[in-house]
Amino acid sequence: MTISTTPLPVATETEAPPAAAKASRFWAWIIFTIGALYFLVPLGATFWWSLRATAGTLGFEAYRRLFEDSNFWPSFTESVVNAIAAILLSLLIIVPTAYWVTLKLPKLRPVVEFITLLPFVIPAVVLVFGLIRLYGRPPLLLTATYDSSRVLLVCAYATLSFPYMFRSVDNGLRAMDVRSLTEAAQSLGAGWPTILRRVIFPNLRVALLSGALLTFAIVIGELTIALFMAQQTFGPYMANLTRSKVYEPSAMAIVAFAITWAAMGMIALVTRPRKRG
Amino acid sequence: MGGAPRPPRFRFGRYLGVVPFFVFSGLFLIGPALILAYRSLESPDGTLTLDNYRALTDANVLAAYGMSIRLSLLTAVVGGVFGFLLAWAVSLGGLGRSTRSGLTTFSGVASNFAGVPLAAAFVFTLGRVGVVTDLLAWMGVDLYDTGFSLYSFWGLAFVYLFFQFPLMLLVMLPALDGLKQDWREAAENLGATPGQYWRRVAFPVLLPSILGTMILLFGNAFGAHATAYALTGGSIPLATLLIGQQISGDVLNNPGLGYAVAMGMVFIMALCILIYSVLQRRSERWLG
């Protein structure tokens, strides 16, 4: 029996018959157009409305008024600070945990995974209900003052980020050889803090950044938890604005959309596969 | 005895790295849920009881749960079907790479664009003085005369779709990418029409994933509070809004019942996530 060394002629990729491909492309465009209209019309209408604050002309008056509103910047900066605090807290908890579970306690992984998914199971309004009942009276009184409630809010936001942060970090850790890197660092005399700070963190930069940005996008305009904890953050501020003003809320919605867009755009940017060479 | 392996001792040091995680989750995630669970089982005089769960048949509670379930079901099915079609259009429909990456990025934004700004955007579009409402009036159609209202069940459902489609799209795209070209070729070589290929091969393979993601959408809508609060302020009875009102003041005139309503939500959400993960695992057998 002779084995032919010449490769068999490979069938060129069988395309669907032109007519069928044309028909499916036609339907694809119809569906895409309906989707695009559904998404873009509300944004376009809101933008259009935001330009009409001065009677008779189009202009950015609504944005000027929004940015000059005495409560805009304080509530916005407060939310930014809360978001950053929640991100740092979440990183500080999730990175060592994911690292430890990968390296030393793989048996614990399902338990940790389950807990990080709990924010999907416990809706925000139920979580804040429980937090208020748990921390609303001694011995764990935390809702007594504005600042202690704010600490509670940041902790709640950190837990909200767990599903995204854990998954992101876990994927990042799987992509590198944690064990060899750790052993190499240990053999060079590095202690645990040094290993985490100089070896693990730098290798996780992309995972950490995308987890952080997603958390930021979710937390920055969060309404439910902040509302019931009587916090004067960006979410409750926006809710008030829609009740008290006519044109400013449209500018606000556009600004909020731009913030979400910026966070998501940056995620796409940092996670884009980098060309080597 | 000397050669027998020693039973592993529990050494605290081994668990040191995960202690902060468990303590923190216990304090701010599990603890709050447990206290609600405990209170839901407590009678006014402090004894254990199931009375609060029996009281779930209260008319207000049933109305809120019913409305939440109908809203979630409707937006999960409509969002699921259309989201799937959209995913198909940009992956296999031949619309090109840039359309696809544009829509994916946009979906990432839209699926996270919920709450006050989303409600506001739709008010400016389809509210009483919204741009589209105006436009229709100019064309001679009074939208609010036809019985439509943005602040009703249907209006809210229409708004929810803004974060439901994109989530479906984002979860379904990888599943559609997982359909192997070989299957299609094999089906064609055996003489199958594209319709037969979809009905007999592609669709059955995708079905667990489609159903699972629709259940995920159900949970996504069921737990949503901010958008409904911002749009209706509570004029529509929804489970999340009812819990919110129960936090601010005991609207049910029965604190225990409020806890039971909250636990009922957790139970339904847990069921959704469970079914989703089972179906997702099933679909990975083919599409993984």
pTM of the model: 0.89
How far are the Cα atoms of A74, A119, A146, A229, B232 from residue A149, in angstroms, in the given order?
17, 20, 5, 7, 27
Q: Using the predicted structure, report yes or no on whether residue A148 has a pLDDT greater than 50.
A: yes
Q: Which residue is closest to B84 within chain A, CA to CA?
A: A31
Q: Does B243 touch chain A (CB under 8 A)?
A: yes
Q: Using the predicted structure, report yes or no on whether residue A122 has a pLDDT greater than 90.
A: yes
pLDDT, residue B8, reads: 57
3-state class (DSSP) for residue A148: helix
Q: Using the predicted structure, report yes or no on whether residue A203 has a pLDDT greater than 80.
A: yes
Mean pLDDT of A28-46: 94
Q: Using the predicted structure, report yes or no on whether residue A109 has a pLDDT greater than 80.
A: yes
Please list, in sequence order, all residues whose beta carbon lies within 8 angstroms of the beta carbon of residue A110, skipping any fewer than 6 positions away: none
User: Would you tell me which residues 16-55 of chain B have a C-beta closer than 8 angstroms to some C-beta of chain A?
Assistant: 17-18, 20-22, 24-25, 27-36, 39
Per residue in B85-138, pLDDT (tens digit) is 999 999 888 788 888 988 988 999 998 888 999 999 999 999 988 999 999 999
pLDDT, residue A140, reads: 80
Question: How far, in Å, CA of A89 to CA of A91, rounded?
Answer: 5
Per residue in A52-100, pLDDT (tens digit) is 988 888 999 999 999 999 999 999 999 999 999 999 999 999 998 998 9
pLDDT, residue B242, reads: 95
Instruction: Take residue A187 and report the two structure tokens written for it.
Output: 């053999």
- In A, which residues are within 8 Å of B20 by CB distance? 92-93, 96-97
Residue type, B86: L
Q: Does B282 touch chain A (CB under 8 A)?
A: no
Min mean pLDDT across A12-26, A145-159, A160-174, B202-216 is at A12-26
pLDDT, residue B12, reads: 67
Q: Using the predicted structure, report yes or no on whether residue A103 has a pLDDT greater than 60.
A: yes
Show the low-confidence residues of chain B (pLDDT under 70).
1-12, 288
pLDDT, residue B162, reads: 96
Please, what sign has the CA dihedral across residues B168, B174, B176, B179?
negative
CB contact under 8 A, B121 and A43: yes
pLDDT, residue A236, reads: 95
pLDDT, residue A90, reads: 96
CB contact under 8 A, A46 and B124: yes
What ipTM did this prediction achieve?
0.91
How many cross-chain Cβ pairs, A to B, lie less than 8 Å apart?
254
Instruction: Take residue B66 and report the two structure tokens written for it.
Output: 């019913």
User: Would you tell me which residues 157-186 of chain A have a C-beta closer than 8 angstroms to some C-beta of chain B?
Assistant: 158-159, 162
- In B, which residues are within 8 Å of A132 by CB distance? 247
Min mean pLDDT across A7-16, A40-49, A210-219 is at A7-16
